[in-house]
Structure 1
């Protein structure tokens, strides 16, 4: 019998080491919290403070910028309130949001978390992961995005692990994504399920040999070269992400592209065309590939926060060049005008059909 060789894992190009870690008392008592503490020690993280209670100290600095920089370099290991265990829908991505953390160490100047999470952007890792996983059976078959839908019913009940974090960015410190992959791959579920995670990082070595059972779709957030270079700080660059994409596809994972946020930069057709060509060259011919296309948008609140965080940004957030969309509860979002959206969508749909004909486009937004 011929031995099956494991895919070769690319060496990670970006690993985050927090300068400070805060650990609440309840988090330190949880099994997952203890596993994270062991990983922090193995990674050589020296400033780990075990707190006497469950309240984090104030993380505000001398000004908004100081608070931001301190928070971005801080990890907190906590137990979230019980309400967090009641999973919420997350259209158009998945049936339910499954958070193993909130916050991200990357410095993307368009960061959507700026409009979603309040306070200093500490990366909060949740220590109750085991309890959360044990409660997932009750959600199977109850979703409204993929469960039972005509277009995406084949995905089963879907759980999105990267709504408020990049799970691979912190995986070397937490092991949380691997724990989730193993649970989804080996658990006796009452119906078909899928774990979904997207990332801008490339440290996939610890995932390649896991018993994933084809129940985890690993997606890589990719963009045009100029967008990646200008606006996606402290991430693995797109070529490194594509090497990681190829490795997990070779390990039998269903994979995906999250092309986001799409921007009509100068020469965008050529840049995005080169990106799709690079994906086609990297992937095995039989890869199970999905694509999600998300155009750039911002809110008044996220714009204000991002300009505080990145005051020198060249990101285009000129409301005069956008169309305003209003939600049913009065929320405001600035998106590209209809003509621009139509042009972008038409080009992407044609380019995907030509360059990645086996890929399934899940949605455009």
Structure 2
């Protein structure tokens, strides 16, 4: 079971808002624990002893808070702007996920109840942009806002109506669209009528990698099988080839995945398909955490023989594939994509 909410950590200000009350009503039997801040919950965050309870916490805990800082950060790669989060954290447990680094050793879903303020901010921000002056790799015509940087919106939609509110908001904005990546197929979204103003990016990787790394996610074959339905429902659907993990036989497995994708798509989906290609970046602290609950994953993710270290802007020590060799990996995968899915435009690859 992906979600079995037994305990809700609640900021009083969130519980007083309509969205907070709706979320609490969805889980009437859950224990409620009042907290001063969704950021500071000692039994969830920052305690390495939680590693043994990593998945259990994600399955059974929910946090209800208020988003205090509302900013849309310029991006220019996956989207023009990163929208203020309507949620963060996740009930899934992908072994390479960077989000847990920000809160600690477990990071269940946090829902922000002040969705009206978040939506109002986005409406005003998009209004200030005016028409998009020229095409870019984010989109030819519309400003793109990533609404799911720190969570999986398809899964968030099983907990609250925040994501639906945002999809409906962007549907009515003449100059902007929402975007989010997902590893969870939620067919409830098919009824939301986005009218082309929401882009869903289904993350894909070879099944052998996904079985080991994409813990508690929808199987890759089911993600591919959903693409045509989401296109028919009015979504723009792209794919994220992410993260690309280099290992023995990786290119052969990617070729097989691309053939599966090609066979699973109809003409409408192929006509609008584009991809982001993102090679693995891993983190030393997350590596240590994973050794405590999923060491087999680290045999693929932590490869000192292939990787080099770099201190990130926020002070984390990350590893990525070695300069020079990585360029060859990227070129090889680009060639495979051109061969097996020539209609798939690569928006960027790194």
* TM bucket normalised to smaller: 0.7 to 0.9
Structure 2 counterpart of 1:88, from 60, 68, 73: 73
Q: Which moved more, 1:61-70 or 1:192-201?
A: 61-70
Aligned residues of 1:194 and 1:216 also touching (Cα < 8 A): yes
SS class of match (2:218): coil
- The question of whether the paired residues in 2 share the 8 Å contact of 1:23 and 1:48 is answered with no
The residue that corresponds to 1:9 in the other structure is none
Deviation, structure 1 residue 332: 4.3
Inter-CA distance 269–32: structure 2 relative to 1 (3 Å threshold):
same
Q: Which residue of 1 aligns with 2:124?
A: 138
Structure 2 spans left out of the alignment, 5+ residues: none
Residue 22 (str. 1) matches residue 29 (str. 2):
no
Q: Distance in 2 between matches of 1:316 and 1:309?
A: 14
Q: Deviations over 1:173-219 (max 9, x none)?
A: 2132222111111x2x3x52110011111122x21122212000011
State whether residues 93 and 215 of structure 2, in contact with CA within 8 Å, keep that contact through their aligned partners in structure 1: yes
Structure having greater relative contact order (Cα 8 Å, sep ≥ 6): 1
* Alignment partner of 1:364 is 2:346: no
| Segments of 4+ moved more than 6 angstroms | none
Using the TM superposition, give the Cα deviation of residue 103 of structure 1 relative to its aligned residue in structure 2, in angstroms: 0.6
Unaligned runs of 5+ in 1: 1-13
Do the aligned partners of 2:200 and 2:236 also contact (CA within 8 Å) in 1? yes
Indicate the SS of the match to 1:291: strand
CA distance in 2, matches of 1:242, 1:329: 35
Q: 1:341 is matched with which residue: 300, 323, 326? A: 326
SS in structure 2 of the partner of residue 265 of structure 1: coil
Query: By how many angstroms is 1:328 displaced?
Result: 6.3
Superposed CA RMSD in Å reads 2.8
For residues 14-53 of structure 1, the aligned pairs below 5 Å read 15-41=2-28, 46-49=29-32, 51=34
The residue that corresponds to 2:163 in the other structure is: 177
**Given the alignment, which residue of 59, 63, 69 partners 1:76?**
63
**Equivalent residue runs for 1:160-239 within 5 Å:** 160-185=146-171, 187=172, 189=173, 192-204=175-187, 206-239=188-221
| TM-score (ref. length: structure 1) | 0.83
Say if 1:233 and 1:120 are closer, same or farther in 2 by CA, change over 3 A: closer
Pick closer, same or farther for the CA change 1:75–1:52 going to 2, 3 Å.
closer
Contact 1:59/1:120 (<8 A) preserved: no
Question: TM-score under structure 2 normalisation?
Answer: 0.86
Q: Which residue does 1:317 correspond to in 2?
A: 302
- Which deviates further from its counterpart, 49-58 or 23-32? 49-58
Distance in 1 (CA, whole Å) between partners of 2:165 and 2:21 is 14
Matching of residue 297 in structure 1 with residue 295 in structure 2? no
CA distance in 2, matches of 1:299, 1:125: 26
CA offsets per residue over residues 47-74 of structure 1, 9 Å max, x none?
2416386667532579242464553231
Bigger mean CA offset, 293-302 vs 315-324: 315-324
SS in structure 1 opposite 2:338? Answer: helix
Alpha carbons 1:162, 1:198 under 8 Å: kept: yes
